[in-house]
Every structure is written in structure tokens, then in C-alpha cells.
Structure 1
Amino acid sequence: MNFAIIGCGYVADMYMQTLPGLDGITLLGAYDRAPERLAAFTAFHKIHAYPSMEAVLADERVQMVVNLTNPRSHYEVSLRALESGRHVYSEKPLAMTMEEADALAAAARARGLQLASAPCNHLSDVVQALKHELESGRLGKPLLAQAEMDDGMVSALDYSSWRSISGAPWPARDEFEVGCTMEHAGYQISPLVALFGPVRRVTAFSACLLPGKGAEIGVTDPSPDLSIGVLEFDGGVVARLTNSIIAPSDRSLRVVCEGGVATLSDVWEYHTPLRISPTGNGLKARVPRLLEKRLSRFMPKMLFGWRRRVRYGRQVPRTQGGHHMDFSRGIAQLAAQIEKGAPALVSSELALHVTEVTLALQSPASAGQAQVMRTGQDLPAGMAGA
């Protein structure tokens, strides 16, 4: 399937780094509204530069648009692409409000088009391996998930110097104004939904603990830099999800079952180990974790576990962000669903559901009340009764 990229910023380079080796998709070119960014990106990657978005949509060869613009432009760009008759894969979040997200899904449905959004890390080998372990019943019934999405004290770092491989600056203003929950919660929500089915209720708390962050770059309305949510699934499974750009970096996912504990040390790392133990992260597990994280780049074909080993299907390059995360796998998956009838592992229903859960975490109900999710009804059930 032929596709074009709209938006040539920081994350676009990570997509370009992970495109090689994926079958069934062909990049025709890219467009960015900033001429100097477009020129730098297309020259670096040696791809065609479209002079305008109209030129992209006028190219009859383009079957899919990959929307990598900043979050507040996602709705407008995706809607224009859908209205032109193109399938759309968007960076997260799908939209900034549920009204916009619903409108995109309706536009795709009315035209018989496919719509999906990042993140796609629920497609990673390690998450699929964990799903297989839960489905096998060897660990017994899942009870509790503990999900961390802490990125460290970002505001104290020299983020103004961060550049992608083609020279794009790290989008600090978006990160601080859109917020860490909107930007990153999906990396834990997507795996949780893949494992346990749709979220039924969300009880959340959020706060802006560093209101002055980003003032030097013009940030005047920062979003919450901390959110903590309790996600309830069918069958009694409960997950606690924490997002922050304050606490020390931790992107682990731990699933506690009646018969053992499964741990992924970093959901961004497609090469992270799947570790299974009777009781979880004791000293015996924590020490190997540090070694595994440092050595995993040299051992890309194997997941190392205390009791489980799983083969990788594709080696993922190390991206500019310093981690092995296959940004482009979702594009290839959507193309395979459209052209080959592959299982629907990315979809508008999943994108809508992840967006709704994310917004519930970002803007909790008053008095700590639980918010009932209305999306996700057509998503596969989880394995709560395993």
C-alpha cells in the first residue's frame, strides 16, 4: 500500500528509522507546512517532497495518509485525508476531544475507509508473548496490573538541545501544554486493552505540580504533569496507571495473577524481557533487570525470562529516542488489514477507546467519581476468566 507522511517533525524521524524491513507499504513522499523542515527531512531521508497538502491529496497513487503533525492538528489533517478518500493512520492522540474523535470515526465509516492511531506497542512481540501466557492459563486468573509511564523530571533537563536525526527539535511546547497523559498514557492503555479487553470504568486524579515548566519557551497554560488512574475491566481485573514527567523514569508493566507475576520492564522497548516469577520483583529479579536493559541491544533476537523464552519476528532498530520501539508497525498492520484481510489489531474502535480512557485520566470527574466508558463495545474481550 502506498502512503504519504504529513508532518516532518521529531517523531517522523522515528517512523523513518523503523520503516525498513516492513512488508506491504511504500512511502511516496512527505509534506510539512514549514518549508525548511520539509526540505531538511526529505533531503536527509532522500524522499519526495510534496509542495502542499493539496498536492498529497491530488496524487492518486496515495492510498493512506500517515498523520504525524502536532496533536492539535490531528483532527483537521485526518479529516481532510478521509474526506479525500484516503485511509488514515495518525499519531496519538487520535484527537484532542471525543467530539472530534467521534467525527473522524464517522467520516471513515461513511466512506468505507480505515482509521487507526498510534501507539502500536500492543503489537510488540513481548506484549503478544504476555497475552499468550495469560491465554494459556498457566498463570491462573489475572487480578491486578500495575502500569507506570513516568518519564523523569523532563523540565530540569536540557530539552531545548534535543534534536532528531534530521534536525527537528523536540516538541517541548506540545509536551508541556498537551500534557504527558495525552502524549504517553496510550503506551500503557493499548497493551492493557489488548490483554484484558475494553476498560469499563476509570477513576482518576490529575495535577499540575510544576506550573512554571516551559515558561522560558512561552508555555503559559501547562497541562497536568501527573495523573493516576484506576482502570476496571470485565471479570474483576483492575489496573493502576500512573503518568508523569516528574517521577524517575519507569515504563514497566506488571500483571499479578493467581499463579504468578509477569513483568515487562519497559513497554517502549520491543526487546524488553518478559519475566515471570512466583511473587514478582524481588532482589533476584531487580539485579538482572539492570543487566538485561543494558545488554538487550546486543541480543535483539531473544526475550530473556526466568522461565520463558520467546523469539522475535523482526529486529527493531534503535531510534533517536534511544529505545527499540517499532513506530511503523501500526502502519504495516493497517495496510495488511485493508489489502490482505489480516486480523483487525488496529482500528478506529481501538483508537476511540484509547482516546476516551486517556481523556478520562487527563480530566477526572469531580469528587473522584468513576467515569463509565461508552466506547470499546466492539473490541475483543480479555482473558479475565483465564
Structure 2
Amino acid sequence: MKIAFVGCGYVADMYRQCLDLHSGELELAGVYDRDSERLAAFTKTWGDRAYASLAELLAEPDLGVVVNLTDPENHAPVTRAAIAAGRHVYSEKPLGMTLSEARGLRDAAAKAGVRLAAAPSNILGEQAQTLWRAVREGAVGRVRLVYAELDDGMVHKADYRNWISRSGRRWPAEGEFETGCTFEHAGYVVTLLVAMFGPVRRVTAYASLLIPDKECDQPVHPAPDFSCGLLEFNGGIVARVTNSIVAPYDHRLRIVGDAGVLQVEEPWDFAGPVRLKRTATTRLDRFLERRFPLRKGRVVKAVRPVPFRSGRGRPPMDFLRGVSEFAEAVTAGRPGRMDADLAVHITEVTEMLQHPERYPRPATVSSQGECCGRWIGRSESRRKSHRPWITRRP
């Protein structure tokens, strides 16, 4: 299927680096960015066609999917323009900056007869599929509790001015600080938890801007740099999700069940190991757990090897896997796994985490009934057969 990128910033290089993993499936027709310097640098680096305007890109014959890689504040207007042109859209996260904005985009797409999906797609990765299979097969018994840490350390103290993408784009610190670490990162774990346990029912959250002065080169109005929320799922499962760019770096995701704990270190590393640690029951086990707290347990056998290598500047996840799955769903006329209803649900939960002042406490998630059963239904059916759904894409 023919696709086109709108936005040639930092994340666009990560998507472009993954294109070779989908040769024969996805064809990049060209790219566009309103900043002519960014556009020129990107096309010089990758050798892609540059469109002179967004209108020219949207008029591309046989264009299957517009991949919206703009900054979060421009996700909605660019997606809206693509929908109006009759194009299917895959958007970087978040779909919108508010629940109302996300719902508006979903409804506009439905009215126009086009499809809409949004990142993150790490649920399609080998690590996530291995974790999900272990949960379904009862590796830790009945799941009771989830701890998800998304702490990035004090980013404003880091040397981020030297974080340069392949086409020479500096990491967009000012934009990241203004969007907020919760909107930037929470989706990686919330999507995974919704896939495994169903829609979030209620959220109790707290957020704060702990360090207003981010020491940037230009004035910024940063969003909260810390949030902590409790997500309640059907069946009594509770997840604590913490986001910050203040606390030391820690991206652990731990799923606690009656019989043990499943843990991953990086929820967006497709090749990251899933570890299983049995519940300490004897006095010796409990002593060893206290004495050697870093013991992480045995590695769970992966559903399959990761068909690409990260490191040396290559991203740890296949950013185009979600686009590929979406394109396949559009071609086959089947429901997509990263669909608009799921994206709306993730947007609402994320907004509750970053802006709890907009909602009552605890807040009932209004979109839980809208969150379709693409994942949940498949999860239940495979829980009986112990066969995970795994993307077939390399």
C-alpha cells in the first residue's frame, strides 16, 4: 500500500528507518513538512520525494494511508484535513490532546467513510505478545495488581541538545515539555493493559508541575512533569501508572498475580526479555527476596525471535508495524487492532492522568463502552486455546 508522511521531525526518522522491514507491503510515496529546512534535510538524507504542500500530498493518486508525524498540537488539524480529503489516517500519539478532540476526529472519519488509527503499536511487538501470552496461560495465576513506572530522569538536566536524529533534527525538548511526559509516554503501558484486561473503568489521579523552570533556550509553558494514577479494570485488577521527568530512570512494568510476578524493563523494546519470578512463600524465599532484591527471575520463552536488530542508532521497536497492520486491515476490509475507538479510550485515560482537575475523583471513564472488542474479544478466545495473536509482519 502507498503511504505518505506528514511531518519530518525527530520521530519521522525512526519511522523511516523501519521502512525496509516492510518492503513489498508499504511504499512511501513521499513526505511533507511545513518547515522547508526540515523537509529538505529529510529528503536529502533518505532520498524520498518532497511534496510542495499538504494539499499536493493529499491529492497523490492511490494514496492509501496518511501517516501523521507532526507535533502533538498539530495532530488534530492535519488528521482532520486528511479525513476531509478522503484519506485513511494513522496518527502518532496522542490522537488528540483532549477526549473531545479525539472523539471529533473519530466521528469525522466515520462520517467520511475512512479509517483512523493511532500509535503506540508496541502491543504488536514480540515482548508484549510474550507478556500477554504468559498472562493468558496463567503464569502468575490470577492477576491482582500492576505497577508501571515511566520515569525518565531529569531530562532538562540531560544533554538533550545533542540528541540528534539521522536527518539532523534535535530532540524537540520545548515541545515535549509543553505536551507533557504523561501524554508522551502513558499510552505505551495503557494500551498494553487495555489489550490484556479490557477497558479502564475508573481513574484516580494526581499530577503536578514540580520543576517549572526547564532551563530551555527559549521560554516554554511546561505541562505537569509528574503524574500518578490508579486504573481500575473489570475483575478487580488495579494498575498504578507513574509518569515523570523528575525521578531517576525506571521503565519497569510488573504484573503481580497470586503465583508470581511478570516483569519487563522497557515496554517499547520489542526484543526486551519478559521475566517470571515466583511468589516468595517460604521463610528462605522471603529472606532471599529481601537480601537480593535485584533477582529478576527466569526469562520467559519468547513467542518468536525479533526479526530486526536495534542499537547503533536503530530504534528498539518497529515504528511502522502499526502502520502495516492498519494498511492490511484497510485492504482486507477487516477491523483494525489499533482502531479509532481504542485511540479515543487511551486519549481519555491519558487526559485523566495528566489533567485530573478536569474530572471528578475518582473519574469514571466514559469511553469504556466505546472501546471496541478487537483486542478484548480476541484475548478471551485465545485465553481458552492459549494461542496468542501475533503480528505476521517481519
TM-score normalised according to structure 1 size: 0.90
> Is the counterpart of residue 4 in structure 1 residue 4 in structure 2?
yes
Does the aligned pair in 2 maintain the 1:172–1:214 contact within 8 Å? no
Structure 1 residues 260, 117: CA separation in 2 closer, same or farther (over 3 Å shift)?
same
Whichever residue aligns with residue 181 of structure 1, its letter is T
Output the amino acid matched with 1:233: F
Name the structure 2 match of 1:306.
299
**Contiguous gaps of at least 5 residues in structure 1:** 290-304
**Contact 2:352–2:358 under 8 Å retained in 1:** no
Q: Could you tell me which residue of structure 2 aligns to residue 301 of structure 1?
A: none
Letter of the 1:147 counterpart: A
The aligned residue for residue 27 of structure 1 is: 28
Deviations, residues 317-345 of structure 1 (Å, cap 9, x unaligned): 3374x751221111001011111356632
Matched, 1:349 2:341: yes
Contact 1:190 1:354 in 2 (8 A): yes
Q: What letter matches 1:164 in structure 2?
A: S
Q: Does 1:166 align with 2:174?
A: no
Note the C-alpha offset of 1:316: 4.6
Structure 2 unmatched ranges of 5 or more: 281-287, 385-394
**In the alignment, structure 1 residue 200 sits paired with structure 2 residue 201:** yes
Q: Output the amino acid matched with 1:270.
A: F
1:267-289, CA deviations, whole angstroms, 9 ceiling, x for partnerless residues? 12111101011038957683679
SS at match of 2:145: strand
Moved more, 186-195 or 363-372: 363-372
Question: Would you say the 8 A contact 1:18–1:316 is kept in 2?
Answer: no
8 A Cα contact 1:275 1:308, kept in partner: no
Deviates more, 1:111-120 or 1:350-359: 111-120
- The corresponding residue for 1:229 is 229
Give % identity: 43
Rounded Cα–Cα distance in structure 1 between residues aligned with 2:277 and 2:227: 29
Asked if the contact 2:156–2:216 (Cα under 8 Å) also holds between the matched residues in 1, the reply is no
2:294 to 286, 306, 313: 286
Q: CA RMSD in A?
A: 2.2
Matched, 1:330 2:322: yes
Given that 1:201 and 1:373 are in contact with CA atoms closer than 8 Å, whether structure 2 keeps it comes out as yes
* Distance of aligned partners of 1:230 and 1:39 in 2 relative to their CA distance in 1, 3 Å threshold: same
Amino acid at match of 2:57: V
- The 1:341–1:254 alpha-carbon spacing in structure 2 relative to 1, beyond 3 Å, is farther
Q: Determine the C-alpha separation between the residues in 2 that align with 1:334 and 1:228.
A: 31
CA distance in structure 2 between the aligned counterparts of 1:308 and 1:286, rounded to whole angstroms: 21
Tell me the secondary structure at the aligned position of residue 356 of structure 2.
coil
The whole-number CA distance in structure 2 between the counterparts of 1:122 and 1:286 is: 26
- SS of residue matched to 1:43: helix
Paired residue type of 1:328: L
Give the Å deviation of 1:165: 0.8
Change (3 A) 1:368 1:80: closer
- Deviation string for 1:217-239 (max 9, x for gaps)? 221x2110000000000000000
- After the TM superposition, which residues 174-323 of structure 1 pair with which residues of structure 2 at under 5 Å, given as runs? 174-219=175-220, 221-279=221-279, 282=289, 286=294, 305-318=298-311, 320=313, 323=315
Any conservation in 2 of the 1:4–1:66 contact (CA below 8 Å)? yes
TM-score w.r.t. structure 2 length? 0.88
Moved over 6 A (4+): none
Indicate conservation of the 8 Å contact 1:173/1:214, yes or no.
no
- Contact 1:349/1:376, CA 8 A, preserved across alignment: no
The count of corresponding residues between Structure 1 and Structure 2 is 368
Contact 1:207 1:226 in 2 (8 A): yes
User: For the residues of structure 1 that align with 2:311 and 2:6, how far apart are their CA atoms?
Assistant: 23
1:315 deviates by 1.7
Question: Quick check: 1:123 aligned with 2:147?
Answer: no
Indicate whether 1:75 and 2:83 are aligned. Answer: no
Corresponding residue SS for 2:109:
helix
Counterpart of 2:342, as a letter, is L
- The 8 Å contact of residues 316 and 326 in structure 1, kept in 2 or not, is answered as no
